[in-house]
Structure 1
């Protein structure tokens, strides 16, 4: 499958700022073509690339006051599957900032007790979250975690993913968050899904069902949204002025939530 992805972020820097971006396809891919560039008031500025343990490509820059613009585009086909080890899976069994699996464990046990088979369990959790929540843009706060999302019964993609992650960890299944480009998503934006360790592989879980999982392009991987944000302002002051994201694929496959799907 061939996919074309791009993003453009414009910021108003009012105090010199150290910025970290996670907007490029992860190191699991070998793009057919790719470009990444940043400017301040139209003048090029250097980006430093950092690679984390999950092949997330982070780009760090110290930007002076002015209009900051960063743009990325790539054409990709298939990538190498994400792998996991025993230590990593232990990390993703623990509760985290936005996925309070200790608080969600009793709900997980009550709702999914007795379900046999990993694929059936994964489909059950995805469907349960998808039917309990309403997708409402702007309905959640950046500080909301899985517990608050379930109480509110609404949220956006990151909230759906956090709830799936918390329930899966509460059932003893390692789970984590992945930021992705998502061909077929409407309205187009950066997207977030969960991943669960099932049958010796990481399997994508998207309770929103807004884009086919097999078309997703991995950007960043981590415990929850704290590890996968497209922009982190480490210091200084930067206000978001504009965000544009595109993602297309030459084929948009059907997506059956009962099937196990892995993304690169």
Structure 2
């Protein structure tokens, strides 16, 4: 399965500022082409790449005042290699974190999911979050946590992921947050899902059920959204003037993806791949992030 992913960010920098981006496909994804550029007028920045223990790729640069254009495009062909999880990682993903307060939801989780383990627990948590939360773009705040979302019953993908993670950790199952590109997602944006650790493997849980899990491309992995922000900055003002994210799966019978866009695919007499269709995903089945 070949997927094309893109991201465009137009930023306005008020002064010299330290910028850290997480917008590229994570290490381990089988890339057949990739381009990442940071331009400011005639100037092109060369960022420092930092790879964390989970394979997330951070790109850091010191930007100067003015408009900064960020462009990313990559073609991913096939499934990412599964990295071994250390005992330390598993322990880390059992602990409460900034947005996933498993200690605060402990009593609710223990009452609601009493006696459930393994796949049954994953399925029950996934179903509960999917049916008890309403997807509401624009109403969620960047500081909302799993506790907030459980109280309000609304949020966006990051909020769904935080609730799943908090409930699973409260039930002694390691769980983590993953930012990703999601072909077929509507509305299109960076996407967030949870992952549960069971029998030596990580399985994806998408409480929103707005994307097919088999087509996802990992960007970053962490305890919660605080570890996986697409942009963080220090030392100055940064305004996000425009952002566009896109991702799509190339049909098997289409040759060559250079310059291929979703609009171009619409003009072909080729149906969209099932991997782009959320309704083709059995969300209670165990699926690993490809």
TM-score, scaled to structure 2: 0.89
Larger Rg: 1 or 2? 2
Aligned to 1:17: 17
Q: Tell me, in whole angstroms, the C-alpha distance in 2 between the residues paired with 1:150 and 1:201.
A: 27
SS in 1 for 2:180: strand
Aligned to 1:252: 274
Give the gaps of 5 or more residues in structure 2. 251-272
Q: Tell me, in whole angstroms, the C-alpha distance in 1 between the residues paired with 2:16 and 2:235.
A: 8
Q: Tell me, in whole angstroms, the C-alpha distance in 1 between the residues paired with 2:110 and 2:50.
A: 40
SS in 2 for 1:49: strand
CA drift of 1:102 comes to 0.2
CA drift of 1:42 comes to 4.3
1:48 partnered with 2:74: no
Aligned to 1:99: 100
TM-score, scaled to structure 1: 0.97
Residues 26-74 of structure 1 show CA distances to partners (whole Å, capped at 9, x for unaligned) of 0011311110001113421121111111111100010000100111000
Give the gaps of 5 or more residues in structure 1. none
Which stretch shows the higher mean deviation, 79-88 or 158-167? 79-88
Aligned to 1:237: 237
Aligned to 2:85: 84
Q: How many residues align?
A: 263
CA drift of 1:235 comes to 2.0
Contact 2:181–2:247 (Cα < 8 Å) also in 1 = yes
Q: Tell me, in whole angstroms, the C-alpha distance in 1 between the residues paired with 2:124 and 2:190.
A: 25
Q: Tell me, in whole angstroms, the C-alpha distance in 2 between the residues paired with 1:198 and 1:245.
A: 31
Matches within 5 A, 1:1-40: 1-40=1-40
1:153 partnered with 2:149: no
SS in 2 for 1:103: coil
Q: Tell me, in whole angstroms, the C-alpha distance in 2 between the residues paired with 1:73 and 1:128.
A: 36
